[in-house]
Amino acid sequence: MKLHTLLLAASLSAAAMPALAAKPLVFCAETAPEGFDPALWDSASTYNVTRQIFQGLVAFKRGGVDIVPALASKWEISADGLSYTFHLRKGVKFQHTDYFSPTRPFSADDVVFTVQRWIKPELAFNMAFKTQLLGPANYGIAQSLASVQKIDPYTVRLQLKERNATFLSFLAMGFAGMQSAEYADRLLQQNRAADINQQPVGTGPYQFKSYAKDSAVRLQANPDYWGRPQLTRSLIFAIVTDPQVRIQKLKNNECQLAAAVREADLDSLQADRNIKVDSTGAMNISYLAYNLKRPQLASRDVRVALDIAIDRDALFKALFPKGGATQAVNPFPSAVWGWNGKTRNEYNPARARQLLAKAGYPDGFSINLWALPVQRPTNPNGKLMAQMIQQDWARIGVKANIQSYEWGEYLKRAGQGEHDVYMSGLTSDSGDPDDFLWTSLSCSVSKNGQRFCNQEFDQLLLKARQTNDRKQRTAYYLKAQDIFKRERPWITMAHSRIYIPMRKEVRGFVMNPNGSFGFEDVYVK
């Protein structure tokens, strides 16, 4: 057995810490969370909230992608790579809230419940609260995990069906927050299982206080937290959908941090002596996803035609005037190992018209194009992007009808396959190619055939998961990218830098490479 003995850095003594901050910390978020059950959702806006409340067995090191202990203090991996044994941290308490008072500390029972909920549809709790757990589903957890076993009160073993080189990173993802089995039992007894998504209970540094829909999420410091006491007593997520209003609130000190801003806003922010802007080159991508159930889009020639009709150079000049983004060629950025440097984008309207004619559409057709309703670093203006693409497609005879919806409705409708083409994107937690490819392009997430599902591509992803040899994994991913570029299930758009603005009096904030927000040990001086 290979023993992993990485330990968290020793906590600072109370004497070494600043005096308790009386000031609340307000974060101006771009959109509301979809809920508060981390397993139920897969959006960054939701995880930004739930990461403050919940913790996994392991975590990504702040500011990086290395795996460090969290609720497990150490772990062992068997020689065959199929068995993971976790030794749990003792003395961890679940949060005591207005709606739940725990009677015991975190233990193996909670891990067993949490993991069984991911992999056993017949679990009593799952039968009472019947809903798809998007987080675990997107990573194929039920297909990967054979069982979870309690060895003793503070030891659990997870058994895989087959070797998976990326498995440990899954347990650091946002969806993998450990739930209280005792709380779940209480909800089940009271016929309130669905409340696990409305009234969360975790082990993290902050606990849930209240939510005013589409207005604000209020959290408070967890007084029983096993880590350092938090200097910020009140953490508020203010939901501010308008990017200009977020900036104004930041300048007025109505919020102390804000969601990522557009390049066009940097000059104004950097001119304000009370504001500082942190940035990082993020592991992200924006793209346009086809609904492959649509007759026109089932044709590869049509998909290629729509792709090569887009003038990316013109689009980038409008959306990224300061050059803080690069054109996406493959489904993950060049900073991620295994990137295919041989593939290329193309701009060729004449060839696009030829491909449409070959596919049986010499006069073009009409199509619905969904514009992203929220601002993202890789897509700072979904409406403008849609309008520019609309003009490009018109030149090859394709009429694009631009549509959009409120963010939650947008995600829901796209998940149900109501779109023709919609704007989307993803950001990796781990920096592993699998994190980009499996969760969006494997057959396991192709709901009713609307998403891409290619058996040759899928086999390459599976083979890459089953070896720890990076050279071999790279070879598989290079071939997978060739298939992606041939089949063109997405129109790849941008990889971008992320710019996070904050007040200069904010202390302790660390930029994560995926642009997520962690507020542990962050406070206002």
Contact present, 489 and 187 (Cβ < 8 Å): no
Integer Rg of the chain from CA: 23
Contact present, 80 and 92 (Cβ < 8 Å): no
Q: How many residues does the chain have?
A: 525
pLDDT at residue 6, as a whole number? 38
Dist. CA 464–CA 474, nearest whole Å: 8
Provide the 8-state DSSP code for 449.
G
What are 394-428's pLDDT values in tens digits?
999 999 999 999 998 999 999 899 999 999 999 89
pLDDT at residue 8, as a whole number? 38
Other Cβ atoms within 10 Å of 1 Cβ, number: 10
- CA distance readout (Å), 419 to 365, 424, 464: 15, 12, 31
**C-alpha 377, offset from chain centre:** 14
Sign of the CA dihedral 373, 375, 378, 379? Answer: positive
Q: Which two tokens stand for residue 478?
A: 């290079």
Dist. CA 478–CA 336, nearest whole Å: 12
If you classify domain 25-266+504-524 with CATH, what class do you get?
A: alpha beta
Sign of the CA dihedral 320, 324, 327, 333? Answer: negative
Q: Which uninterrupted H or E stretch holds 499?
A: strand 490-503
Beta-sheet pairing, 25-29 with 58-60: unpaired
In the chain, residues under CATH classification 3.10.105.10 are 284-497
What are 261-318's pLDDT values in tens digits?
988 899 999 999 999 999 988 799 999 999 999 999 999 999 999 999 999 999 999 9
Dist. CA 40–CA 117, nearest whole Å: 11
Name which of 345, 342, 338, 343 is nearest 437 in CA terms: 338
In the chain, residues under CATH classification 3.90.76.10 are 25-266+504-524
Which residues, in sequence order, are CB contacts of 206 under 8 Å at separation 6+?
Answer: 52, 53, 219, 220, 221, 222, 230, 235, 519
In degrees rounded to 5, what are phi and psi of residue 170? -60, -40
- Residue ranges of the chain with per-residue pLDDT less than 50: 1-19
pLDDT at residue 68, as a whole number? 97
98-120: b (≥16 Cβ within 10 Å) or e: eebebeebbbbbbbbbbbbbbbb
Name which of 378, 411, 426, 435 is nearest 172 in CA terms: 435
pLDDT at residue 7, as a whole number? 38
What are 71-108's pLDDT values in tens digits?
999 999 999 999 999 999 999 999 999 999 999 999 99
Dist. CA 471–CA 279, nearest whole Å: 31
Which residues, in sequence order, are CB contacts of 239 under 8 Å at separation 6+?
Answer: 29, 31, 32, 214, 215, 216, 217
Provide the 8-state DSSP code for 86.
E
Contact present, 524 and 349 (Cβ < 8 Å): no
pLDDT at residue 17, as a whole number? 44
| Strand-pair partners of 401 | 368
Q: Which two tokens stand for residue 463?
A: 């083979």
Which residues, in sequence order, are CB contacts of 299 under 8 Å at separation 6+?
Answer: 359, 360
In 362-489, where do the E strands start and end?
A: 366-370, 399-403, 421-427
Q: Which two tokens stand for residue 87?
A: 């030794």
pLDDT at residue 223, as a whole number? 97
Task: Report the greatest alpha carbon distance in the chain.
Answer: 75
Dist. CA 452–CA 493, nearest whole Å: 17
Dihedral, 484, 489, 495, 500 alpha carbons, nearest 10: -140
Which residues, in sequence order, are CB contacts of 88 under 8 Å at separation 6+?
Answer: 57, 71, 72, 73, 106, 107, 108, 111, 154, 155, 156
In degrees rounded to 5, what are phi and psi of residue 69? -65, 150
Residue by residue, DSSP assigns 319-335 as: H-TT--EEE--SSS-TT
Dist. CA 197–CA 220, nearest whole Å: 18
Name which of 289, 97, 342, 280 is nearest 204 in CA terms: 97
If you classify domain 284-497 with CATH, what class do you get?
A: alpha beta
Q: What angle do the packed helices 433-441 and 470-487 form, to 10 degrees? A: 40
Q: Which two tokens stand for residue 473?
A: 């994994």
